Chain A
Amino acid sequence: MHHHPLEATVERLCAVSQAKYANPYTAIDWPAQLDGDQWCMSPELISIFGTEAYMHLSAAEQRRLSFYEAVNFFSLNIHGERALVEGLARRLYRKGHRAISPYLHHFLDEENKHMTYFGGFCMRYAGKIYPDKKLAFPRTYAPGEEDLLFFIKILLFEKIVDVYNVRMSKDIRLVPLVRRINLLHHLDEARHLAFGHLLVQQIFQEYRQQWSDDTLHALRDYLSNYLVATWNEYFNPEVYRDAGLDDPYGLKEHAFQQPGARAHRREVTASCIRYLLATGILSEEPAL
Protein backbone atom coordinates (compact mmCIF):
# COMPACT_ATOMS: atom_id res chain seq x y z
CA MET A 1 0.00 0.00 0.00
CA HIS A 2 1.61 3.26 -1.13
CA HIS A 3 0.46 6.62 0.23
CA HIS A 4 2.53 9.01 -1.90
CA PRO A 5 2.11 8.83 -5.68
CA LEU A 6 5.86 8.38 -6.08
CA GLU A 7 6.45 5.98 -3.20
CA ALA A 8 6.70 2.85 -5.37
CA THR A 9 9.04 4.64 -7.79
CA VAL A 10 11.15 5.93 -4.92
CA GLU A 11 11.53 2.39 -3.55
CA ARG A 12 12.51 1.00 -6.93
CA LEU A 13 14.99 3.78 -7.70
CA CYS A 14 16.57 3.52 -4.24
CA ALA A 15 17.09 -0.22 -4.75
CA VAL A 16 18.82 0.39 -8.10
CA SER A 17 20.96 3.21 -6.69
CA GLN A 18 22.07 0.95 -3.83
CA ALA A 19 22.90 -1.88 -6.23
CA LYS A 20 24.87 0.47 -8.52
CA TYR A 21 26.59 2.38 -5.73
CA ALA A 22 29.88 3.69 -7.15
CA ASN A 23 33.18 4.74 -5.65
CA PRO A 24 34.13 7.92 -7.54
CA TYR A 25 37.80 7.44 -6.64
CA THR A 26 38.05 4.08 -8.41
CA ALA A 27 35.46 4.59 -11.15
CA ILE A 28 37.89 6.54 -13.34
CA ASP A 29 41.58 6.12 -14.19
CA TRP A 30 42.90 9.60 -14.75
CA PRO A 31 45.74 9.74 -17.31
CA ALA A 32 48.52 12.18 -16.45
CA GLN A 33 47.93 13.92 -19.79
CA LEU A 34 45.24 13.91 -22.45
CA ASP A 35 46.04 12.74 -25.94
CA GLY A 36 45.95 16.02 -27.85
CA ASP A 37 45.40 14.24 -31.16
CA GLN A 38 41.97 12.98 -30.18
CA TRP A 39 38.63 14.69 -29.84
CA CYS A 40 37.19 15.62 -26.46
CA MET A 41 33.77 16.63 -27.83
CA SER A 42 31.98 15.09 -30.78
CA PRO A 43 32.59 17.55 -33.63
CA GLU A 44 28.85 17.74 -34.43
CA LEU A 45 28.20 18.86 -30.83
CA ILE A 46 30.75 21.68 -30.93
CA SER A 47 28.80 24.91 -30.62
CA ILE A 48 30.20 26.56 -33.77
CA PHE A 49 30.11 23.38 -35.87
CA GLY A 50 29.05 24.23 -39.41
CA THR A 51 30.09 27.89 -39.26
CA GLU A 52 32.73 29.32 -41.55
CA ALA A 53 34.92 30.01 -38.54
CA TYR A 54 34.86 26.30 -37.71
CA MET A 55 35.46 25.13 -41.25
CA HIS A 56 38.50 27.37 -41.59
CA LEU A 57 40.22 25.74 -38.63
CA SER A 58 42.83 23.06 -39.24
CA ALA A 59 42.07 19.55 -37.96
CA ALA A 60 44.42 20.15 -35.02
CA GLU A 61 42.72 23.47 -34.20
CA GLN A 62 39.30 21.81 -34.31
CA ARG A 63 40.45 19.20 -31.81
CA ARG A 64 41.93 21.91 -29.61
CA LEU A 65 38.56 23.69 -29.70
CA SER A 66 36.86 20.38 -28.84
CA PHE A 67 38.91 20.26 -25.63
CA TYR A 68 37.68 23.69 -24.49
CA GLU A 69 34.13 22.85 -25.55
CA ALA A 70 34.33 19.75 -23.33
CA VAL A 71 35.62 21.90 -20.45
CA ASN A 72 32.64 24.21 -20.98
CA PHE A 73 30.19 21.31 -21.13
CA PHE A 74 31.58 19.86 -17.92
CA SER A 75 31.63 23.32 -16.29
CA LEU A 76 27.94 23.78 -17.15
CA ASN A 77 27.26 20.43 -15.55
CA ILE A 78 29.08 21.47 -12.39
CA HIS A 79 27.06 24.70 -12.12
CA GLY A 80 23.79 22.91 -12.80
CA GLU A 81 24.54 20.17 -10.29
CA ARG A 82 25.78 22.60 -7.66
CA ALA A 83 22.42 24.38 -7.79
CA LEU A 84 20.70 21.01 -7.74
CA VAL A 85 22.60 19.83 -4.66
CA GLU A 86 21.77 23.08 -2.83
CA GLY A 87 18.09 22.74 -3.67
CA LEU A 88 17.90 19.03 -2.87
CA ALA A 89 19.59 19.55 0.51
CA ARG A 90 17.04 22.26 1.38
CA ARG A 91 14.18 19.89 0.53
CA LEU A 92 15.42 16.83 2.48
CA TYR A 93 12.72 15.82 4.99
CA ARG A 94 10.83 19.06 4.43
CA LYS A 95 7.08 18.70 4.90
CA GLY A 96 5.63 17.33 1.66
CA HIS A 97 8.97 15.80 0.66
CA ARG A 98 9.38 13.14 3.35
CA ALA A 99 8.18 10.30 1.13
CA ILE A 100 10.76 11.12 -1.54
CA SER A 101 13.60 11.92 0.89
CA PRO A 102 15.10 8.38 0.76
CA TYR A 103 15.74 8.94 -2.94
CA LEU A 104 16.91 12.52 -2.42
CA HIS A 105 19.83 11.03 -0.44
CA HIS A 106 20.87 9.00 -3.50
CA PHE A 107 20.25 11.94 -5.79
CA LEU A 108 22.55 14.11 -3.66
CA ASP A 109 25.20 11.40 -3.43
CA GLU A 110 25.22 10.76 -7.16
CA GLU A 111 25.25 14.43 -8.13
CA ASN A 112 28.18 15.04 -5.82
CA LYS A 113 30.06 12.21 -7.52
CA HIS A 114 29.33 13.63 -10.95
CA MET A 115 30.81 16.94 -9.88
CA THR A 116 34.00 15.16 -8.85
CA TYR A 117 34.21 13.62 -12.35
CA PHE A 118 33.57 16.90 -14.13
CA GLY A 119 35.68 18.96 -11.74
CA GLY A 120 38.46 16.34 -11.91
CA PHE A 121 38.63 16.69 -15.68
CA CYS A 122 38.46 20.48 -15.79
CA MET A 123 40.98 21.12 -13.02
CA ARG A 124 43.47 18.42 -14.10
CA TYR A 125 43.62 19.27 -17.77
CA ALA A 126 42.45 22.88 -18.10
CA GLY A 127 43.36 24.13 -14.62
CA LYS A 128 39.99 25.89 -14.37
CA ILE A 129 36.23 25.74 -14.57
CA TYR A 130 34.49 28.28 -16.75
CA PRO A 131 32.58 30.58 -14.38
CA ASP A 132 28.83 30.55 -14.03
CA LYS A 133 27.25 33.69 -15.50
CA LYS A 134 23.78 33.10 -14.09
CA LEU A 135 22.34 35.29 -11.35
CA ALA A 136 19.35 34.48 -9.16
CA PHE A 137 17.03 37.37 -8.32
CA PRO A 138 14.64 37.22 -5.39
CA ARG A 139 10.98 36.89 -6.37
CA THR A 140 7.69 35.64 -5.01
CA TYR A 141 6.02 32.37 -6.00
CA ALA A 142 2.51 30.96 -6.17
CA PRO A 143 1.93 27.82 -4.05
CA GLY A 144 4.03 24.95 -5.41
CA GLU A 145 5.59 27.13 -8.10
CA GLU A 146 9.05 27.31 -6.56
CA ASP A 147 9.22 23.52 -6.22
CA LEU A 148 7.94 23.01 -9.73
CA LEU A 149 10.46 25.46 -11.18
CA PHE A 150 13.32 23.92 -9.21
CA PHE A 151 12.63 20.37 -10.37
CA ILE A 152 11.60 21.24 -13.90
CA LYS A 153 14.67 23.39 -14.59
CA ILE A 154 16.88 20.56 -13.41
CA LEU A 155 14.90 18.07 -15.49
CA LEU A 156 15.18 20.12 -18.69
CA PHE A 157 18.85 20.89 -18.12
CA GLU A 158 19.63 17.21 -17.52
CA LYS A 159 17.54 15.97 -20.44
CA ILE A 160 19.62 18.12 -22.80
CA VAL A 161 22.85 17.06 -21.12
CA ASP A 162 21.82 13.42 -21.36
CA VAL A 163 21.48 13.58 -25.15
CA TYR A 164 25.08 14.81 -25.26
CA ASN A 165 26.18 12.16 -22.73
CA VAL A 166 24.65 9.30 -24.69
CA ARG A 167 26.11 10.46 -27.99
CA MET A 168 29.57 11.07 -26.59
CA SER A 169 29.67 7.86 -24.56
CA LYS A 170 29.36 5.98 -27.87
CA ASP A 171 31.63 8.18 -30.00
CA ILE A 172 34.81 6.21 -30.67
CA ARG A 173 36.58 9.34 -31.95
CA LEU A 174 36.70 10.69 -28.41
CA VAL A 175 39.40 10.29 -25.76
CA PRO A 176 38.38 7.19 -23.72
CA LEU A 177 38.32 9.24 -20.52
CA VAL A 178 35.73 11.62 -21.96
CA ARG A 179 33.59 8.73 -23.16
CA ARG A 180 33.82 7.18 -19.69
CA ILE A 181 32.75 10.37 -17.87
CA ASN A 182 29.81 10.78 -20.23
CA LEU A 183 28.80 7.15 -19.75
CA LEU A 184 29.00 7.29 -15.94
CA HIS A 185 26.90 10.42 -15.92
CA HIS A 186 24.29 8.95 -18.24
CA LEU A 187 23.91 5.76 -16.19
CA ASP A 188 22.89 7.72 -13.08
CA GLU A 189 20.93 10.33 -14.97
CA ALA A 190 18.60 7.73 -16.43
CA ARG A 191 17.24 7.24 -12.89
CA HIS A 192 17.22 10.95 -12.07
CA LEU A 193 15.25 11.66 -15.23
CA ALA A 194 12.71 8.93 -14.47
CA PHE A 195 12.24 10.47 -11.03
CA GLY A 196 12.09 14.02 -12.39
CA HIS A 197 9.49 13.20 -15.06
CA LEU A 198 7.10 11.79 -12.48
CA LEU A 199 7.76 14.35 -9.76
CA VAL A 200 7.34 17.39 -12.02
CA GLN A 201 4.09 16.01 -13.43
CA GLN A 202 2.80 15.29 -9.93
CA ILE A 203 3.66 18.79 -8.63
CA PHE A 204 2.07 20.43 -11.69
CA GLN A 205 -1.15 18.42 -11.34
CA GLU A 206 -1.31 19.11 -7.62
CA TYR A 207 -0.96 22.90 -7.87
CA ARG A 208 -2.16 23.85 -11.35
CA GLN A 209 -5.76 24.44 -10.23
CA GLN A 210 -4.60 26.84 -7.53
CA TRP A 211 -2.85 29.11 -10.02
CA SER A 212 -4.34 32.03 -11.89
CA ASP A 213 -4.07 32.13 -15.66
CA ASP A 214 -1.52 34.93 -15.26
CA THR A 215 0.67 32.70 -13.09
CA LEU A 216 0.48 29.87 -15.61
CA HIS A 217 1.19 32.22 -18.49
CA ALA A 218 4.23 33.69 -16.70
CA LEU A 219 5.48 30.19 -15.86
CA ARG A 220 5.20 29.11 -19.50
CA ASP A 221 6.96 32.25 -20.63
CA TYR A 222 9.72 31.69 -18.12
CA LEU A 223 10.26 28.06 -19.16
CA SER A 224 10.47 28.97 -22.84
CA ASN A 225 13.08 31.61 -21.99
CA TYR A 226 14.86 29.17 -19.69
CA LEU A 227 15.35 26.72 -22.56
CA VAL A 228 16.86 29.47 -24.72
CA ALA A 229 19.08 30.63 -21.83
CA THR A 230 20.22 27.05 -21.22
CA TRP A 231 21.29 26.69 -24.83
CA ASN A 232 22.92 30.09 -24.75
CA GLU A 233 25.45 28.79 -22.22
CA TYR A 234 26.68 26.21 -24.69
CA PHE A 235 28.05 29.11 -26.76
CA ASN A 236 30.79 30.47 -24.53
CA PRO A 237 33.04 33.30 -25.82
CA GLU A 238 35.72 32.27 -23.31
CA VAL A 239 35.95 28.90 -25.06
CA TYR A 240 36.50 30.61 -28.39
CA ARG A 241 39.11 32.93 -26.90
CA ASP A 242 40.98 29.99 -25.30
CA ALA A 243 40.91 28.16 -28.63
CA GLY A 244 42.51 31.20 -30.28
CA LEU A 245 39.48 32.28 -32.34
CA ASP A 246 38.93 35.91 -33.37
CA ASP A 247 36.05 38.07 -32.12
CA PRO A 248 34.71 35.55 -29.55
CA TYR A 249 31.58 37.56 -28.68
CA GLY A 250 30.68 38.18 -32.30
CA LEU A 251 31.26 34.50 -33.04
CA LYS A 252 28.91 33.52 -30.22
CA GLU A 253 26.11 35.71 -31.60
CA HIS A 254 26.68 34.52 -35.14
CA ALA A 255 26.95 30.81 -34.30
CA PHE A 256 23.85 30.85 -32.07
CA GLN A 257 21.70 32.29 -34.89
CA GLN A 258 22.82 29.86 -37.59
CA PRO A 259 20.01 27.72 -39.07
CA GLY A 260 22.10 24.59 -38.42
CA ALA A 261 22.48 25.53 -34.75
CA ARG A 262 18.73 26.18 -34.43
CA ALA A 263 17.96 22.83 -36.04
CA HIS A 264 20.39 21.15 -33.64
CA ARG A 265 18.72 22.79 -30.62
CA ARG A 266 15.28 21.73 -31.81
CA GLU A 267 16.44 18.17 -32.40
CA VAL A 268 18.17 17.78 -29.02
CA THR A 269 15.34 19.53 -27.16
CA ALA A 270 12.57 17.57 -28.93
CA SER A 271 11.99 15.16 -26.05
CA CYS A 272 11.84 18.07 -23.53
CA ILE A 273 9.20 19.77 -25.67
CA ARG A 274 7.20 16.58 -26.10
CA TYR A 275 7.18 16.10 -22.34
CA LEU A 276 6.20 19.72 -21.61
CA LEU A 277 3.35 19.62 -24.14
CA ALA A 278 2.11 16.17 -23.09
CA THR A 279 1.92 17.19 -19.43
CA GLY A 280 0.20 20.49 -20.29
CA ILE A 281 3.01 22.47 -18.68
CA LEU A 282 3.53 24.23 -22.02
CA SER A 283 0.70 24.85 -24.46
CA GLU A 284 2.83 25.56 -27.52
CA GLU A 285 6.30 24.82 -28.79
CA PRO A 286 8.83 27.50 -27.77
CA ALA A 287 11.04 29.19 -30.36
CA LEU A 288 14.59 27.99 -29.86
Chain B
Amino acid sequence: MNWEHNSRVQLRHWVLAKNGKIRPEELDDHTPILEQRIITSLQVMDLILFLEQLTGKPIEVEMLQPGAFRSIETLYQHFCAAEAPNGYQH
Protein backbone atom coordinates (compact mmCIF):
# COMPACT_ATOMS: atom_id res chain seq x y z
CA MET B 1 0.00 0.00 0.00
CA ASN B 2 1.34 3.44 -0.92
CA TRP B 3 1.71 5.66 2.12
CA GLU B 4 1.91 8.95 0.24
CA HIS B 5 -1.23 8.30 -1.80
CA ASN B 6 -3.11 7.00 1.22
CA SER B 7 -2.20 9.92 3.48
CA ARG B 8 -3.07 12.53 0.85
CA VAL B 9 -6.44 10.86 0.25
CA GLN B 10 -7.19 10.69 3.97
CA LEU B 11 -6.19 14.32 4.51
CA ARG B 12 -8.40 15.34 1.61
CA HIS B 13 -11.36 13.41 3.04
CA TRP B 14 -10.82 14.96 6.45
CA VAL B 15 -10.75 18.52 5.06
CA LEU B 16 -13.85 17.95 2.90
CA ALA B 17 -15.74 16.39 5.81
CA LYS B 18 -14.79 19.14 8.28
CA ASN B 19 -15.75 21.92 5.90
CA GLY B 20 -18.94 20.24 4.79
CA LYS B 21 -19.69 22.82 2.06
CA ILE B 22 -16.80 22.83 -0.40
CA ARG B 23 -17.13 20.61 -3.49
CA PRO B 24 -14.39 17.98 -4.06
CA GLU B 25 -13.34 19.63 -7.36
CA GLU B 26 -12.67 22.91 -5.47
CA LEU B 27 -9.96 21.29 -3.35
CA ASP B 28 -6.60 20.14 -4.66
CA ASP B 29 -3.35 19.45 -2.82
CA HIS B 30 -2.22 23.07 -3.19
CA THR B 31 -5.46 24.86 -2.20
CA PRO B 32 -4.67 27.21 0.74
CA ILE B 33 -7.06 25.68 3.28
CA LEU B 34 -6.53 28.21 6.09
CA GLU B 35 -6.24 31.29 3.90
CA GLN B 36 -9.48 30.42 2.12
CA ARG B 37 -11.08 29.53 5.46
CA ILE B 38 -11.85 26.01 4.29
CA ILE B 39 -10.49 25.04 7.70
CA THR B 40 -10.69 27.50 10.60
CA SER B 41 -7.86 28.16 13.04
CA LEU B 42 -10.01 26.52 15.74
CA GLN B 43 -10.24 23.31 13.70
CA VAL B 44 -6.45 23.02 13.54
CA MET B 45 -6.45 21.39 16.97
CA ASP B 46 -8.68 18.67 15.57
CA LEU B 47 -6.46 18.39 12.52
CA ILE B 48 -3.42 17.88 14.75
CA LEU B 49 -5.17 14.99 16.50
CA PHE B 50 -6.12 13.52 13.12
CA LEU B 51 -2.49 13.75 11.95
CA GLU B 52 -1.34 12.04 15.15
CA GLN B 53 -3.81 9.25 14.50
CA LEU B 54 -2.78 8.97 10.86
CA THR B 55 0.96 8.82 11.51
CA GLY B 56 0.90 7.19 14.94
CA LYS B 57 3.27 9.90 16.20
CA PRO B 58 2.59 12.66 18.74
CA ILE B 59 2.95 16.21 17.43
CA GLU B 60 4.73 18.85 19.48
CA VAL B 61 2.68 21.92 18.77
CA GLU B 62 5.26 24.33 20.16
CA MET B 63 7.66 23.28 17.41
CA LEU B 64 5.23 23.96 14.56
CA GLN B 65 5.12 26.78 12.03
CA PRO B 66 1.74 28.05 10.76
CA GLY B 67 3.01 27.34 7.21
CA ALA B 68 2.75 23.63 7.94
CA PHE B 69 -1.04 23.92 7.73
CA ARG B 70 -1.20 25.84 4.47
CA SER B 71 -2.43 23.03 2.20
CA ILE B 72 -2.71 19.27 1.87
CA GLU B 73 0.72 19.37 0.22
CA THR B 74 2.38 21.11 3.20
CA LEU B 75 0.52 18.84 5.64
CA TYR B 76 1.83 15.79 3.84
CA GLN B 77 5.39 17.17 3.64
CA HIS B 78 5.54 18.30 7.31
CA PHE B 79 3.77 15.48 9.05
CA CYS B 80 3.50 12.40 6.87
CA ALA B 81 6.42 12.22 4.42
CA ALA B 82 8.88 10.81 6.93
CA GLU B 83 6.40 8.83 9.00
CA ALA B 84 5.27 5.80 6.98
CA PRO B 85 4.01 3.31 9.58
CA ASN B 86 4.94 -0.38 9.29
CA GLY B 87 3.28 -2.09 6.36
CA TYR B 88 3.33 0.96 4.12
CA GLN B 89 5.66 1.90 1.29
CA HIS B 90 6.74 5.48 0.71
Chain A positions within 8 Å of B, measured between CB atoms, are 131-139, 222, 225-226, 228-229, 232-233, 237-238, 249, 252
Contact = CB atoms under 8 A, between A and B. Distances in A.
Contact of B64 (A135, A138, A139, A222): A135
A242 to B, nearest CB: 12
A225 B49 contact: no
Contact of B46 (A131, A132, A232, A238): A232
B66 interface: yes
B45 A137 contact: no
B22 to A, nearest CB: 16
Interface string B21-38: 000000000000010000
A226 B42 contact: yes
B42 A133 contact: no
Nearest to A226: B42
B83 to A, nearest CB: 16
Contacts of B89: none
B41 A135 contact: yes
20 contacts: A131-B61, A131-B62, A133-B45, A133-B48, A133-B61, A134-B61, A135-B41, A135-B48, A135-B61, A137-B41, A222-B40, A225-B42, A226-B42, A228-B42, A229-B46, A232-B45, A233-B45, A237-B49, A249-B50, A249-B52
Interface of B: 34, 40-46, 48-50, 52-53, 58-62, 64, 66, 69
6 nearest interchain CB pairs? A249-B53, A229-B42, A225-B42, A133-B45, A137-B41, A133-B48
Contacts of B48: 133, 135
Contact of B60 (A131, A134, A136, A139): A131
Contacts of B50: 249
B49 A222 contact: no
Given A133-B49, A137-B66, A138-B66, A222 B61 contact: no
A162 B55 CA distance: 36
B34 A137 contact: yes
A222 B52 contact: no
B45 A229 contact: yes
A134 B49 contact: no
Nearest to A237: B49
B60 A135 contact: no
Contact of A252 (B43, B49, B69): B49
Contacts of A139: 41
Contacts of B44: 134-135, 137
A132 B61 contact: yes
Nearest to A135: B44
Given A225-B40, A249-B49, 10 more contacts: A131-B60, A133-B59, A135-B44, A135-B64, A136-B41, A137-B34, A222-B40, A232-B45, A237-B52, A249-B53
Contacts of A249: 49-50, 52-53
Contacts of A132: 61-62
Contacts of B66: 135, 137-138
B7 to A, nearest CB: 15
B61 to A, nearest CB: 6
B15 to A, nearest CB: 16
A136 B34 CA distance: 12
Contacts of A136: 41
A128 to B, nearest CB: 12
